Amino acid sequence: MTAFRVALSGDFFGPGGEPVFPEFDLSPLRDQAGLDLVALDKVPEITPEQIADLDALILLGSRVSAATLEGSERLAVVARFGVGYDNVDTAACDRQGVALVITPDGVRRPVAVSILTLMFALTGKLMVKDRLTRLGPDGWAQKTEHNGVGLVGLTLGSIGIGNIGAEMFRLARPLDMTFIAHDPFADPGLADDLGIQLVDLDTLFRQSDVLAVNCPLTDATRHLVNADRLALMKPTAFLINTARGPIVDQKALTAALKQGAIAGAGLDVFEKEPPDADDPILALDSVIVTPHALCWTDQIFEGNGAADVRAVLDIMQGQVPRGIVNTAILENAAWRRRLQGYAEAFPG
């Protein structure tokens, strides 16, 4: 093997070839002896031809499907820039002996902060008060009609207490709220340490004053937040989704908001992205919306990039990287032999 070849998906670069996220420091890869770094053409779905001579792929938003990986014999890792991996066929990765790696350390704090940002904005009626202020004296005269809601003693709920959900609760500790969550895979010890009461799903919807979606999109979680569950919520409650849009039945949410069944929602993600300009949810004053980018800061791009770079270099040196999603790959004999080959070809 003459070189360890790494590619970035084309959506990391703008039309002129400029990096979309300049905080993503690629110098450790560029400076690594024996490593070739290339950029792929921007495509909705990575093609088999694009990965044919690659050992590692750092992936942003393009899809990696079963067709992408068909016949793949060299690719050892897909390093996703973030934690969502619904654009990667994990079953195909297993079949082809490809590790899928995500970046939990890079997103944990920025996404948790974005959830709290929406919670503060919703309960404080930030957007309404911003609009009133811009109206001048007539707007100021209406301010007593739009008092916010204090958080002390309210119940903060979460669908999931994984990487991001747990961090959300850690950051919310000084707010003197009650914590509840539903997570069939929860670590009871972690829940106890964070002061979280684990409850069933219906109880979570009934008791939460602020309910955050913190689970991945899977077949089991698609439309988990539906009309029946929204009907369980308090009319004073708020729903926040920074995870994946299809976890929430958006039509059902729109109807619940129009009917006043819940007080408001904060959405960084949508069933269709971008949503149509005439999507009825965008016209509701009780909703705060952001373009799947509220957590986008210099720190998240720096953190995600550093995690992906570390994963790629670990593979090159024959080591198992952090953040592997398809952990069954660890028992894949062909993949382990590939790692051993890298260790021998590129000794640290």
Catalytic residues: 244, 273, 292
With contact defined as beta carbons under 8 Å apart, do 46 and 57 qualify? yes
Neighbours of 177 (CB within 10 A): 20
Give CA–CA dist 26/309, Å, rounded: 7
Angle at 51 between CA 45 and CA 57, to 5 degrees: 85
Cα dist from 198 to 159, 188, 214, whole Å: 10, 8, 14
Question: Hey, what are 97's tokens?
Answer: 């002996």
Cα dist from 74 to 51, 54, 157, 285, whole Å: 8, 6, 44, 52
With contact defined as beta carbons under 8 Å apart, do 312 and 58 qualify? yes
Bond from prior residue into 274 cis (ω within 30 degrees of 0): yes
Sheet holding 238-241, edge to edge: 196-198, 178-182, 155-159, 210-213, 238-241, 264-267, 287-289
189 CA to centre of own chain:
24
Q: Is 212 helix (H, G, I), strand (E, B) or coil?
A: strand
